């Protein structure tokens, strides 16, 4: 992986309709890297807020005693898709990727596939 921002920039340019992407630590909500137009969308606030989404889902899975890990989560808005993808890593890195897509331009299946590839790049 090159510089974190470069890895995110590569992913953004490969994903049609991408508005912003962030790599976030989910116990602290701190964005390690963000890329996108901060005028239209504050990725730092989105990063912090979405840690609660990830945590709530993980806790629910624990309570239901569900086996298996979360690959990604999709939140569909009228005009956007938000995809959250935990970075697995062999020791559980505690990071997740957060991708915001323009719903009109995005190809959801392809975006998920590309995000999975970015995740593989980020495993340390």
Contacting residue, 37, 52, 71, 102, with other proteins by CB under 8 A:
52
Contacting residue, 1, 74, 110, 120, with other proteins by CB under 8 A:
1
State the burial class of residue 96 (Cβ atoms within 10 Å of its Cβ: 0-12, 13-18, 19+).
buried
Q: Which is nearer to other proteins, 28 or 107 (CB)?
A: 28
Contacting residue, 29, 35, 36, 111, with other proteins by CB under 8 A:
29
Q: Which is nearer to other proteins, 93 or 108 (CB)?
A: 93
Long-range contacts of residues 40-47, Cβ cutoff 8 Å, at least 24 apart: 41/100, 43/98, 43/100, 46/20, 46/22, 46/98, 46/100, 47/22, 47/98
Contacting residue, 4, 9, 12, 108, with other proteins by CB under 8 A:
4
Q: Which is nearer to other proteins, 88 or 108 (CB)?
A: 88
Location of structure tokens 């996108």: 36
Contacting residue, 18, 20, 34, 50, with other proteins by CB under 8 A:
50
Provide the sign of the torsion angle of the four alpha carbons 90, 99, 112, 60, taken in this order: positive
The CA–CA distances, whole Å, from 99 to 21, 74, 90 equal: 4, 10, 22
Residues of the shown chain interacting with other proteins in the complex, contacts defined by CB under 8 A: 1-4, 6-7, 23, 25, 27-30, 32-33, 44-46, 48-53, 62, 65, 67, 69, 88, 90-95, 121-122, 124
């Amino acid at each position: 992986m090159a510089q974190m921002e470069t890895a995110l920039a590569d992913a953004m340019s490969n994903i049609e309709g991408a508005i912003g992407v962030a790599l976030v630590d989910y116990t602290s909500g701190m964005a390690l890297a963000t890329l996108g137009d901060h005028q239209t969308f504050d990725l730092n606030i989105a990063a912090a807020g979405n840690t609660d989404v990830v945590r709530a889902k993980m806790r629910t899975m624990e309570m239901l005693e569900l086996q298996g890990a979360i690959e990604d989560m999709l939140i569909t808005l009228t005009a956007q898709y938000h995809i959250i993808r935990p970075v697995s890593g062999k020791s559980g890195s505690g990071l997740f990727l957060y991708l915001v897509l323009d719903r009109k331009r995005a190809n959801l299946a392809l975006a998920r596939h590309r995000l999975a590839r970015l995740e593989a790049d980020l495993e340390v």
